[in-house]
Amino acid sequence: MPQADVLSELLKPLRLADTYCSRWLAGGSWGIAGEDDSHAVLHHMVRGTCHISFADGEVIRLDEGDLAVFPHGTAHSFASAPGRATTPLRSVLPDLSPGSSASVTIGSAPADTEILCASLHYDPTTEPALYRALPRVLVLRSHLLREEPLLHHTLDCLPRENARSAPGSPLVSLRAFEMVFVLALRTAMERLAESSPALTALRHEGIGRALTAVYAAYAQPWTVESLAREAGMSRSAFSRTFRSLVGEPPARHLLFRRLQEARRLLADPSVPQQEIHKAVGYGSHVGFHLAFRKEYGMTPGEYRTRRLGPRTATTSYHRAHKDPSQEHEAEGTLMDDTRQAIRKILLESGDTWAVVGLSSNQSRAAYGVAQTLQRFGKRIVPVHPKAETVHGEQGYASLAEIPFPVDVVDVFVNSDLAGQVADEAVAIGAKAVWFQLGVIDDAAFDRTRAAGLDMVMDRCPAIEIPRL
């Protein structure tokens, strides 16, 4: 495949379903405080200037013609100048229903700033791992946009199209914003690759070919050796470069892509379950069954029955509500709650993290995640029957043996055992519990929340913390 197909294959799993668009006219002194959005967000400076600010203090100035893309909808404020008092977005736009639009005037007359904003709604469960690794914001300056005629002209036409009420306008706007999103990522890949390892991976000749193979031909019997040949690199150089740019080993990336597609197929009742293992590249049902269970803590059949969302099964909800539109709305609410819990645990719950299942085995996910937590200022406490010292920190055989307060309990055990660990976290007075990717126990979640602790399931802090 040509290298240009890498971006196409990366974005194919993302299913853009709807948009919310707003036109902002501002003058004088003004500021708006946004919130975490589980969707991509765009800001296009039609005229004037504004300043984007993040919770960690980073400030980015946008000038007329600039485009800012937030792939993950990371919370930020935008204002006439840094440090301006801000008004919560929800107080200005209480209804952000997908498919609708609004025009807002803020500050004082005359309005010297115009911003076109859009929230692009897609299913977060379809996010490829490499997409999750994109930076929190990509800024395309006006001179770059002028060198991309299709992107530049589409942005110029969007305000007029968005203001129309002609038949088909909502669909036209959706497709136009989708095109802007893809063109913006393509431009970033070509012009801003040095700003992000993920963008560099897309541009890298060899790694790009391997990624195309993983995303487009995941059902093929790939090995690290065959992917290295596809990349035109030695096995060692390929593995080292892939991990450096993508953030995980090639085999893990391929596994995630296959199981992600398996989850999509399992959620489609028209696809026979006995055919899914072949469709995603497994030679036997047993191998697929074991890989799926190891990753998600349940069998493919259990997943299909429960129709898991990105965080939790919400089994009782699905029994009570059969209307698909209601299910979609509920899952959206759950995603918002999850993002809030993630943010609170990582930023407010404290910096002492007991990592249950952490040993000196460097091949285990807990080992690498603990390293990432340390890099972001967390004190990790290994909890494992061997009570080993890991990353310079003394280990303990159980949570109860830790002689000092623990803020967060990070759980790397099978879902069948996770509930007991959550109960132990409550018993020692922890503030929060974090179940890793694939660790899911609805009953434990309910018990832990009822005890007053914050909790998330089926998430990885090493992925989430760099996005804050």
Domain boundaries defined on the chain: 5-192, 204-306, 325-467
pLDDT of residue 336: 60
- φ, ψ at 23 (rounded to 5°): -110, 125
pLDDT tens digits, one per residue of 31-81: 999 988 778 899 999 999 999 999 999 999 999 999 999 988 899 999 999
In the predicted model, what is the mean pLDDT of the chain? 85
**pLDDT at 370 > cutoff 50:** yes
- Most confident range (mean pLDDT) of 208-222, 326-340, 418-432 is 418-432
Q: What is the pLDDT of residues 347-364, one digit of tens each?
A: 999 999 999 999 999 888
Whether the pLDDT of residue 199 is over 90: the answer is no
Q: Would you say domain 325-467 falls under CATH 3.30.420.40?
A: no
State the pLDDT at residue 137: 92
**Which pLDDT value is given to residue 42?**
94
> With bands split at pLDDT 50, 70 and 90, how would you rate the model's confidence at 326?
very low
The whole-number average pLDDT for the span 367-380 is 92
The predicted structure's pLDDT at residue 125: 64
Q: How far apart are CA 258 and CA 278, in angstroms?
A: 10
The Cα angle at residue 150 between residues 38 and 207, in degrees rounded to 5: 60
Instruction: Kindly give, in sequence order, each residue whose CB lies less than 8 Å from that of residue 114, ignoring residues fewer than 6 positions away.
Output: 23, 24, 25, 26, 45, 46, 47, 48, 159
Average pLDDT of span 288-317: 65
Of these ranges, 263-277, 288-302, 423-437, the one predicted with the greatest mean pLDDT is 423-437
pLDDT at 176 over 90: no
Phi and psi at residue 347, to the nearest 5°: -105, -25
Query: Measured between alpha carbons, how far is 363 from 251 in angstroms, rounded to an integer?
Result: 13
Beta bridge pairs of residue 31: 79
Residue 59: count of CB within 10 angstroms of its CB: 14
C-alpha span between 416 and 207 (Å, rounded) = 37
| 204-306 under CATH 3.90.1150.10, yes or no | no
Would you state the pLDDT for residue 398?
96
- 81 contact partners, CB below 8 Å, separation of at least 6: 29, 51
**Omega into 382 within 30° of 0, i.e. cis?**
no
Question: Of all residues in the chain, what percent carry a pLDDT higher than 70?
Answer: 89
Tens digit of each residue's pLDDT (9 = 90 or more) over 214-227? 988 999 999 999 99
- Gap between the Cα atoms of 14 and 185, Å rounded: 13
> CA separation (Å) from 94 to 36, 89, 108?
15, 8, 21
Contact assessment for residue 239 and residue 227, using Cβ atoms and an 8 Å cutoff = no
Residue 11 to residue 9: CA distance in whole angstroms: 5
The 10s digit of each residue's pLDDT in 87-122 is: 999 899 887 777 778 889 999 989 999 999 998 887
* Predicted pLDDT at 307: 55
Render pLDDT for 301-311 as a digit per residue (tens, 0 to 9): 778 777 544 33
CA distance 262 to 366: 24
Q: What is the pLDDT of residue 392?
A: 94
Whether the CB-CB separation of 138 and 68 falls below 8 Å is answered with yes
Query: Is residue 316's pLDDT more than 50?
Result: no
Give the CATH class of 5-192. Answer: mainly beta
Exposed, middle or buried, 87 (CB in 10 Å: 0-12/13-18/19+)? middle
Pair of tokens at residue 241: 């470069």
Q: Estimate to the nearest angstrom the gap between the alpha carbon of 319 and the chain centroid.
A: 28
Give the pLDDT score at 124: 66
Position 26 scores a pLDDT of: 95
116's CB contacts (< 8 A; 6+ apart) are 21, 22, 23, 24, 42, 43, 44, 46, 155, 158, 159, 162
Q: How far apart are CA 66 and CA 142, in angstroms?
A: 5
